[in-house]
Amino acid sequence: MDIRKPNDSEYRMILSLSPKALFEGTLGEVIPTDEKIKQLIDPLLQKGCYYLIAKKEDILLGWILIGTSKDQLTEKKYGFIYELYVLEEFRGNGISKRLIESGMEHLKQDGYSEVRLNVYAGNHAIKLYEKLGFINRTLTMGRSI
């Protein structure tokens, strides 16, 4: 398996699969359109975020979108994982772990000493994040009224 930045055709493939990734990542709460994906991703890429992809031979296995973010209260900048996705048929093979580890190494080389991410409560990926040392930093709570 190779982990690297995508070329133009691989980037287009990621964008075509991103609505499914967002739908799954939000546990079905968001039904995104291609236009919504563009509205979310373009500003991130414009501020320097970038994708890393996992490929084996000519097959895309998954990707991670990484970059920078800033704590709204402390103004501290840190590395951020904006998106992580492995195609369903390749899950359970350690690809997510490899993408996260590679992403964190890139962020470390970019000068960050901390990496954060957001995840929906109930997402099965939480167990992986905890195994890799991620801890709760903030918690968003909600209630129907």
* CATH for 111: 3.40.630.30
Total number of domains in the chain:
1
Residue 124: inside a domain: yes
Mean pLDDT of 17-37: 83
pLDDT of residue 117: 96
Mean pLDDT of 59-75: 94
Q: Tell me how crowded residue 93 is: count the other CB atoms within 10 A of its CB.
A: 15
Domain assignment of residue 110, given as a range: 2-131
Q: 72-116: per-residue pLDDT in tens?
A: 889 999 999 999 999 999 999 999 999 999 999 999 999 999 999
- The DSSP code for 90 is G
Q: Give CA–CA dist 78/67, Å, rounded.
A: 8
Residue 140: inside a domain: no
Residue 142: inside a domain: no
Residue 58: inside a domain: yes
Residue 139: inside a domain: no
Residue 68: inside a domain: yes
Q: Over 80: is that where the pLDDT of 62 sits?
A: yes
Q: Give CA–CA dist 113/89, Å, rounded.
A: 33
Q: 125-138: per-residue pLDDT in tens?
A: 999 999 999 999 88
The average confidence (pLDDT) of the chain is: 92
Residue 123: inside a domain: yes
Q: Give the tokens for residue 84.
A: 């992580």
pLDDT of residue 30: 77
**Residues above pLDDT 90, as percent of the chain:** 72
pLDDT of residue 67: 97
Q: Over 90: is that where the pLDDT of 29 sits?
A: no
Q: Over 90: is that where the pLDDT of 121 sits?
A: no
pLDDT of residue 133: 95
Q: Tell me how crowded residue 56 is: count the other CB atoms within 10 A of its CB.
A: 12
Residue 38: inside a domain: yes
Q: Give CA–CA dist 145/140, Å, rounded.
A: 16
